[in-house]
Structure 1
Amino acid sequence: MSRVKRKRTWLKVVLLLVLIGIVGSGAYGYSIYHNLQKTAKSVHAPIDRKPVVERPSKLDMKKQEPFSVLMLGVDERPGDRGRSDTMIVITVNPAKKSMEMLSIPRDTRLEIVGKGINDKINHAYAFGGIEMSMNTVEKYLDIPIDYYIKVNMEGFKEIVDAVGGVYVNNDLDFTYENHHFTKGELVLNGAEALKYSRMRYDDPRGDFGRQMRQRQIIQGVIKKGANVSTLWKYNDMLKAVDNNVETNISFDEVKNIQKNYADARHHLEQIQINGSGTKIDGIWYYIVPEDERASIQSKLKEHLGLS
């Protein structure tokens, strides 16, 4: 599988968010509700693990306590678990009516928890799947990771098209794969959103620019997925979710998110981790200074009400 194709993976992280958004739209007709419940049960995959960073007490969504989600964009092939080429941590705070979205560069060098080595963070999934990925991110960020959403390669263009395209505010004039993206507000269909999000080498910000555009697409799908006008295509969206998503978020928890956390989606802050690239033993890594890591940890803890 080429690197270009792997860059598509992250777009599938939006699929479960669309599921949550549909619930949040108030569409509770019997047929829709039944199909939502069926899809949620189909993609539900609980995980039994001992957290590396434990909460002071068990998360209680009914009390509107802040929570976190690790999104993994995974390139899986027959006989090969693959790697999580995209890792995004989202924290949700209903009291502040806000979400924070942190992209972790896939080449970030850190300790792989359970493996006992320092390596690229995207190797954690290849070594130990969901559990090792969650444990590694927990230790690195020093926050509890409550939920995960794992998504595969298929369905990214269809889901953007199913919500009627997404709006983005483009700050860089560029051309990629024969499509020109002008500065300003753009409306992108699925194919255009893919091109917009995967351009990297012509951006002076490098991977940071690509990560920013990825988060813009995710934010756009969250907004459109929660819009009642998209519901006429809800079957297409649910089919894409069913085919491409695995998560430990249950249907009851999805309903709790809609009931107690819906307003948080209106204010989303994008966060990046600053560092620099270097080669160690001939392998390229992204190195994050300890003071930068501590600053990110402090920000996330504060948003989760754990500082």
Structure 2
Amino acid sequence: MRSQKKKSRKWLKVTGIFLLILVIGGSAYAFTVYKSLKNAVETMHQPIDRKQSEKREVPVAFKEKDPFSVLMLGVDERKGDKGRSDTIIVLTVNPNNKSVKMLSIPRDTRTEIVGKGKEDKINHAYAFGGIPMAMDTVENFLDIPIDYYMQVNMEGINDIVDAVGGITVQNDLDFTQDGFHFIKGQLTLNGEKALAYTRMRYEDPRGDFGRQTRQRQIIQGVIQEGASISSLTNFSDIFASLGKNVKTNLTFDQLMDIQKNYKEVGKNIQQMEIKEQGTKIGKIYYGLVSADEKQRVQIELKAQLGLN
């Protein structure tokens, strides 16, 4: 009986801004993809000098299927500017209930900046002290351990979107940004248009919340296009774009452990938002979060992470 060779193609959707990991097995072509993937992840890997969180008694063990958290920062690194983390999303991943909770934190949220000894906008933490200070500040604000980070250069969105051949989004607001007019309805965006689509904030009556919605649409669009079979021929461009624009302290081996032990979580992504009241202090706009609202969010995230 003649045996038939079977090729298995499966995309690992490591939930985060544009981190698409392709796992293919069973052929010389698969080995080429695997090697390209590993090289890209090694380029993305950027460890940080930060002690384990005091809110985490023992390190996360992916092989034991421990719940964990990832801080995703979208940084607008324009020429001559270190950049601020204008996109702040916290992912809490729990393989036991097979879910991911995605919390968007508005960039103007007023909170203590850990390491600076003062209150300021939460997105200033990155400008003051880079990834470690941003992680410490978000961890203090939410009272949960922040285990890993993923940083995306927002200027690189166009490269990533173009690498997957463009994306489709469902736009719910008619607006113009950076010379592009976006009508309501289904839109197909190339990289340049996608970047403009994520930047608009002032014309949106929802302010930062509307902008966060569009950012999540871009993330989902990239994942959907990247996961299509047609994108397999573009794997080199996709991995090159990720290597240039994404940084994380997750290693290749850790990502492979996630792929093996957390396969089901990507099917159940739940969006969370934190409510705040806008006000001006010293002529500067801030978003203030009430004690009750902060406690509500903290309780939900602690439950997701299996913490008391």
Give TM class, smaller chain. Answer: 0.7 to 0.9
1:124 is displaced (CA, Å) by 0.7
How has the CA–CA distance of structure 1 residues 27 and 77 changed in structure 2, closer, same or farther, with 3 Å as cutoff? farther
Query: By how many angstroms is 1:258 displaced?
Result: 1.4
User: Secondary structure in 2 aligned to 1:242?
Assistant: helix
Q: Contact conserved, 2:53 with 2:147, CA < 8 A, in 1?
A: no
One-letter amino acid of the counterpart of residue 190, structure 1: G
Q: Report the equivalent of 1:87.
A: 88
Please name the residue that 1:124 is paired with: 125
Could you tell me which amino acid in structure 2 is paired with residue 126 of structure 1? A
For 1:14, what is the secondary structure of its paired residue?
coil
2:184 aligned to which of 169, 182, 185 = 182
TM-score (norm 2): 0.86
CA 1:160–1:77 in 2, change beyond 3 Å: closer, same or farther? closer
Are 1:231 and 2:232 matched, yes or no?
Answer: yes
After superposition, residues 56-95 of structure 1 pair within 5 angstroms as 56-76=57-77, 81-95=82-96
1:14 matched residue in structure 2: 17
> Partners of 1:242 and 1:38 in 2: how far apart?
8
Amino acid at match of 1:181: I
CA distance 1:45–1:27, shift in 2 (3 Å): farther
Spell out the pairing of 1:1-307 with structure 2 (5 A cutoff).
14-15=17-18, 17-18=19-20, 20=21, 22-23=22-23, 29-76=30-77, 81-176=82-177, 177-183=179-185, 185-307=186-308
- Do the aligned residues in 1 keep the contact of 2:72 with 2:89 (CA within 8 Å)? yes
Which structure: greater helix fraction? 1
Q: What TM-score, normalized to structure 1?
A: 0.86
**TM-fit CA distance, 1:204:** 2.1
> Are the equivalent residues in 2 in contact too, given 1:14–1:222 (CA < 8 A)?
no
Give the distance between the partners of 1:92 and 1:219, measured in 2 at CA: 17
> What runs of 5+ residues in structure 1 fail to find an aligned partner?
1-12
Q: How many residues align?
A: 290
1:173 deviates by 4.2
Residue equivalent to 2:6: none
CA 261–187 in structure 1, closer or farther in 2 if over 3 Å, else same: farther
210 and 27 in structure 1: CA distance in 2 versus 1, 3 angstrom threshold: farther
Go from structure 1 to structure 2 and tell me whether the alpha carbon gap of 1:234 and 1:214 turns closer, same or farther (over 3 Å shift): same
Distance 2:136 2:42 in 1: 25
User: Residue 222 and residue 27 in structure 1: after superposition, are their counterparts in 2 closer, same or farther (change >3 A)?
Assistant: farther
Offset at 1:68? 1.0
The one-letter amino acid paired with 1:259 is K
Q: For residues 161-220 of structure 1, what are the alpha-carbon distances to aligned partners after superposition, in whole Å with 9 as ceiling and x for unaligned?
A: 22233333333344544423223x444332332333222233221221111111121122
Higher relative contact order (CA 8 A, sep 6+): 1
Q: Kindly report the root-mean-square deviation, in angstroms, between the aligned alpha carbons of the 2 structures.
A: 2.2
- The 1-side partners of 2:83 and 2:173 are apart by 32
Letter matched to residue 294 of structure 2: R
Q: Would you say the 8 A contact 1:52–1:139 is kept in 2?
A: no
Q: d(CA) in 1 for partners of 2:281 and 2:72?
A: 28
Q: Which has the larger radius of gyration?
A: 2
Secondary structure (helix, strand or coil) at the match of 1:204 reads coil
Change (3 A) 1:215 1:53: farther
Quote the Cα distance in structure 1 between the aligned partners of 2:212 and 2:149.
Answer: 19
